[in-house]
Amino acid sequence: MAAAVVLALALWSLAFAVSAAPAPWYYWRSKVDGTRVCAQTSPGPGWERDSAAYDGPGCRPRRKVLVVPMR
């Protein structure tokens, strides 16, 4: 019985680890003066999202990496 509980907990925690991903980055624009900042979450109530999501940090597109197998 105890082994089944341990196995169930291990599988449950693995399911959450596999689905984890970094949050996307967005440009946010101030409703007061139009200033733009790059952040993963809203800087506060006076800000609105001003761009589509970026995968890379700092509102930069993620660089494409080409992997070429060696012979």
Q: Encode pLDDT of 16-62 as tens digits.
A: 655 677 889 999 999 999 999 999 999 999 999 999 998 878 888 77
Answer for the pair 38, 27: CB distance below 8 angstroms, yes or no: yes
Task: Give me the half-sphere count of Cα atoms (radius 13 Å) on the Cβ side of residue 41.
Answer: 3
Write the DSSP symbol of residue 49: E
pLDDT at 57: 80
pTM beyond 0.75: no
Helix, strand, coil share (%) of the chain residues, nearest 5: 30, 20, 50
∠ CA 25-28-20, nearest 5°, is: 25
Q: Per-residue pLDDT for 14 more than 70?
A: no
